[in-house]
Amino acid sequence: MPRTRTRARPPAPPRPPRRLRRSSIAGTGGGRRNTGRGGPGGEARPSPGTSPPGAPDLRGGVEATVTTGPVSDAIERLQAEHREIAALLARGSAGVPRLAAILATHAVEEEEVFYPAVRAASREMRPVLAEAMRQHRQIDRLLEEVRALPAGGARRARFAELCKRIGEHVRQEESVVFPEALRRLGRPERLALGERMDLASQQR
């Protein structure tokens, strides 16, 4: 009986290397992100396009000092405090004690550190900053009135006025003061201001 010859199969083509899926969400931890290698301490960097307009570019990584640890960009720090203030206002007058503490620290950081730097860098901002400080005084008065009133309609009305004034102040800072500060102050200077704000808040 004649032998049947078996034809050898050609080797399979090599598979292309498996492409790892990268997360587009900053701050999720693990894996490389679509913004690069992460900061020097392995921290996540924000994805492009996820920051609000006018926010500082913080993709260079977090700076640190021996005395205070991580140092935030001054504008990033103030924006974070604005978000905390908004969250406390959303709780109603129950959040007033904590709100008073945050507002006091926030005003010190701005009036003793941030505003003088912006005023020195931009002469055009001087009247705007004078108005911002006047708003601080108005907010302080309203806050004291809310704290002095008993629960009821009068307290709710005063608290609504407080929320309105704080909202106006925050909008002015984030639409006028912060963009001008970003144009006039470089990142190293903003980081130095953030460190000074941290020290000023600790000394209160």
Could you report the per-residue pLDDT of 51-68, keeping only the tens digit for each? Answer: 444 444 433 433 333 334
In the 8-state DSSP scheme, what is residue 115?
A: H
Q: Could you count the other beta carbons within 10 Å of the beta carbon of residue 86?
A: 13
Cβ neighbours of residue 67 closer than 8 Å, sequence gap 6 or more:
none
Which pLDDT tens digit goes with each residue over 66-107? Answer: 334 455 899 999 999 999 999 999 999 888 999 999 999 999
Whole-number pLDDT of residue 94:
86
Nearest Cα to 68, choosing from 195, 192, 176? 195
Taking 50 as the pLDDT cut, the residues of the chain under it are 1, 20-69
Q: How far apart are CA 42 and CA 84, in angstroms?
A: 26
Q: What is the pTM of this model?
A: 0.65
- Pairing mode, strands 63-65 and 69-71: antiparallel
Whole-number pLDDT of residue 32:
36
CATH superfamily of 69-202: nmb1532 protein domain like (1.20.120.520)
Q: How far apart are CA 94 and CA 74, in angstroms?
A: 29
Work out the angle between the directed axes of helices 74-90 and 153-172 (0-180°, nearest 10).
160
Contact 89, 169 (CB under 8 A): no
